[in-house]
Chains A and B, each alone.
Chain A
């Protein structure tokens, strides 16, 4: 294929150039790019807050910002990162782009609802951003009552409204995916021929649809309590603040799986492609996604071990939390078994996938530590917990998000990214991440509480290490932003299937045509059947 021939091809990118052709698009591929821009903005905002937190923690005195400002910084870091980056990141960008193509559909079942859900995230993000600029919010991203309902003098209502609205964005995305996966599969695309990425997104969507409405109504009650003073959680009236914690974590623990299940789907695709082998135990990996989605709803009480929750409830929640490690471990073992005797190439997406497996394993195993009642009492609200969930969310989700972005970048943009720069930044991110968060395990174990900016001097060495790591990490994240933009103009033209991967999305040109497939594909083989692919174009080192 010559360059000129590619250029003249009609695709979703050259179908229209005006602003209107983007803002009113119903094309899932364009909406995915709208989402990518939006979540990158919120990732940057959350990153700025993180940078300020880390700079403040360089010294034990708490001399950069006041305690009140520090409370706002970690609150807004959490809100920006969790609700406006981690939750939509993989499903709404990569999922939106490739999921319909993977099952051979022209679009999602409800393209207009898909666009609506993007606008809901814009509106929700607008409220949150307004709250941040107007003076911030200081309740912690968890909004625990009665502080959030009665005492805080910051922008709780605007932020809560933002999260409420963006919740509907998440619900509608999940609804759209479920209906699409049930009803839009191409002929021959049976449930057990679907790529594991699709299974992971199915499980994610189930959580989004069942969990998000509960946090929505919880936020409504907090809102009513603040505005109308009706007092559902108010202890002065005999209400129970712990009920808020139960309702909040009923969503917010499964929300962790909204963040990490799609990441696992990405890793399954990458591991299979770059070892040129079908995923070992395909059925187990598919079912393990569903098992995580179901079990994820039964473990929320492990966030309440030191609340007034009864010790018997604590025992049950502790046991169930151990149980959720089983399907997670199934995935890790099966990826490892897939590598065995595979024809492995160390392309950038694969480096991120390896990074994911290592860091997620550490994050998951320390999850078992904090799921045990006795140990958790020791480390509750310390940096140990902070390090644990950053290993899962940053080490897991963001590694996979970046891996997936590199993996599908040729398909999305029709351009290759610069491989050597990409490998370098993957290495920088891995080093920077571990240097940032590993010291925090030790800090937490030694007793450094989270959410404080003044600390005893003996903790300073570890805090300085962590801040140094964060600086390296920041550079690691800046590189891809720069070379991805660069590649849009100067990157090598991407062939249809640069990696020799198996999914249906690789059977169409890069970038794909407006309706993905000129005729509805008929699927005749299992997922990850490498005998059907011919690798073309770029040689992977």
Chain B
């Protein structure tokens, strides 16, 4: 510890349990990767349920899938991809120590994330109007078997709902980053939080990249 010029008090850049700032950065990044693995397993359960029921009821799932609005879905995918791009730019700005650029890109990422959630809310509302929400009032006109059709929409709401929940958490993290970025807490030497928040944001993005084709696109050719 005596090698350090700074006072030996605990700082954000070097917590007391670490010997060097590099060890801390490596540990935090590694920790986030492990957390993302747990997230893969978490969503994995849903993907498993989807796979099982899709192979059991291929026709009903195909018909139910084509009732989703692929154009809006594609638009939302584009919005999300743009948010990942601005997140990368935010991380890069933090690496270069450009505070104003960091703040700008964080705001842009947040706005694009909000736009995605807004469009999602519009889509969910459509399902309410069309009685495609699972439960007592469920009715899907396109299929004779109402049960499996309801299973599809149960999975649709569970998967997009949990994804949206992760987006909301991500938005919270972005607000926290923004608060500290405005106050100038991140420097070129200490920007690990921006880095790992970026990892999380991209992960949530990638989940959508799998959800979109599975839920919206996979049966388009059957129309």
Contact = CB atoms under 8 A, between A and B. Distances in A.
A105 B30 contact: no
Contact of B154 (A110, A182, A213, A230): A230
Given A229-B135, A238-B148, A240-B52, A212 B38 contact: yes
A231 B134 contact: yes
Contact of A216 (B42, B56, B151): B42
B37 interface: yes
Interface in B25-54: 26-27, 30-31, 34-35, 37-39, 41-46, 48-49, 52-53
Nearest to A109: B27
A414 B192 CA distance: 39
B145 A238 contact: yes
A221 B136 contact: no
B147 interface: yes
A192 to B, nearest CB: 21
Interface string A146-180: 00000000000000000000000001000110110
Interface string A193-229: 0000000000000000111111011101100100011
Given A109-B17, A229-B135, A232-B158, A213 B31 contact: no
Contacts of A108: 17
Nearest to A520: B19
B171 interface: no
Given A184-B27, A228-B134, A209 B148 contact: no
B190 interface: no
Contacts of B214: none
A5 interface: no
A231 B150 contact: yes
Contacts of A238: 53, 56-57, 145, 147-148, 151
A161 to B, nearest CB: 15
B17 A214 contact: no
A279 B146 CA distance: 62
Interface string B129-148: 00000111000000001111
A211 B27 CA distance: 22
B30 A182 contact: yes
A175 B15 CA distance: 18
A105 B18 CA distance: 9
A520 B23 CA distance: 14
Interface in B149-163: 150-151, 154-155, 157-158, 162
Nearest to A231: B154
A60 interface: no
A212 B37 CA distance: 11
A150 B34 CA distance: 35
- The interface size bin for chain B is 35 or more
A109 B134 contact: no
Nearest to B31: A179
B189 interface: no
Interface string B179-193: 000000000000000
A230 B43 contact: no
Contacts of B56: 238, 240
A182 B44 CA distance: 26
Name, among B15, B53, B151, B154, the residue most crowded by chain A CB atoms within 10 Å (CB to CB).
B154
B34 A239 contact: no
B142 to A, nearest CB: 16
B16 interface: yes
A179 B27 contact: yes
B73 to A, nearest CB: 21
A171 B18 CA distance: 22
A183 B150 CA distance: 48
A230 B39 CA distance: 23
A111 B38 contact: no
Contacts of A229: 134-136
A236 interface: yes
B195 to A, nearest CB: 15
A247 interface: yes
B42 A178 contact: no
Nearest to B145: A238
B16 A515 contact: yes
Contacts of B30: 179, 182-183
A231 to B, nearest CB: 6
A217 to B, nearest CB: 4
B16 A107 contact: yes
Contact of A111 (B17, B48, B146): B17
A213 B41 contact: yes
A230 B156 CA distance: 11
A243 B52 contact: yes
Nearest to B154: A230
A329 to B, nearest CB: 29
Contacts of B23: 183-184
A134 B19 CA distance: 49
Interface of B: 15-19, 23, 26-27, 30-31, 34-35, 37-39, 41-46, 48-49, 52-53, 56-57, 134-136, 145-148, 150-151, 154-155, 157-158, 162
26 contacts: A107-B16, A111-B17, A175-B34, A179-B30, A182-B27, A183-B26, A183-B27, A184-B17, A209-B41, A210-B37, A214-B42, A214-B44, A217-B44, A217-B45, A217-B46, A217-B162, A221-B46, A221-B158, A229-B135, A229-B136, A230-B134, A237-B147, A240-B52, A240-B53, A243-B48, A247-B48
Given A110-B31, A228-B135, 10 more contacts: A108-B17, A109-B17, A182-B27, A210-B37, A210-B41, A211-B41, A217-B46, A232-B49, A238-B145, A240-B53
